[in-house]
Amino acid sequence: MNPVRNTKAIKGEGKISNGVKRIVIASDHAGFVLKEKLKSFLENKNFKVKDLGAYSKERSDYPVTAYSLAKEISQGQFKRGILICKTGIGNSIVANRLPRVRAALCYNIKAARLSREHNDSNILVLGSSFVNPGLAKRILNIWLNTQFKRGRHQRRLNQLKKIERGLNSSFASL
């Protein structure tokens, strides 16, 4: 069974008025090569891709690009984004500091699917040292085409939103 073929498209997700799908992508120097491959992959699938860097293999600092991308998601400029660095860990730490960001570090297809179904992740984080371009494309395809399941997961997402607003006495009763 091919897991890519068994996913459902997300209606309206990441679309602009003329029907073009939009996504934002960024990397540091260690993720540059993989970012460029995923950018081409997305463009071939008719995505309009906003690239926030890095623009070469020249050494760069992941907090700068991760913050730039996470800010685009947090402020509602884009619904989905992709971050790539060597391990993905640093990008995850930076991105998840911003409100309304749910960045998920995924090294396999199952994690990508569950990050969407259970957590409604809006940033896919990849580690270029752990996923080759072929696997990264498969992970990305699953992540883009998997819907949030709601149900008990919606309740948990609502709890996360309360945490974002600051812990208070009402949170203890959740």
Quickly list DSSP for 115-162: HHHTT---EEEEETTT--HHHHHHHHHHHHT-----THHHHHHHHHHH
Catalytic residue among 29, 85, 106, 153: 85
Dist CA 136 CA 34 (whole Å): 8
Dist CA 91 CA 69 (whole Å): 10
pTM of the model: 0.83
Edge-first strand order for the sheet with 47-51 is 47-51, 21-27, 81-85, 123-127, 103-105
Catalytic residue among 29, 106, 118, 153: 118
Active site residue 153: no
Residue-level pLDDT at 109 = 97
Active site residue 85: yes
Query: Residues of 117-131 as b/e, b for ≥16 C-beta within 10 angstroms?
Result: bbbbbbbbbbbbeeb
> Domain extents for the chain?
21-149
* Of residues 86, 92, 107, 94, the one with CA closest to residue 31: 86
CA atoms within 13 A on the CB side of 99: 9
Tell me what percent of the chain is helix, strand and coil, each rounded to the nearest 5. 45, 15, 40
User: Residue 76: how many CB atoms within 10 A of its CB?
Assistant: 8
**CATH level 3 topology of 21-149:** Ribose 5-phosphate Isomerase B; Chain: A, (3.40.1400)
Residue-level pLDDT at 20 = 52
Residue-level pLDDT at 2 = 35
Summarised one tens digit per residue, pLDDT across range 103-152 is: 999 999 999 999 999 999 999 999 999 999 999 999 999 999 999 887 76
Residue-level pLDDT at 158 = 74
Residue-level pLDDT at 166 = 78
* Low-confidence spans in the chain with pLDDT less than 70: 1-20, 152-153, 167-174
Residue-level pLDDT at 154 = 73
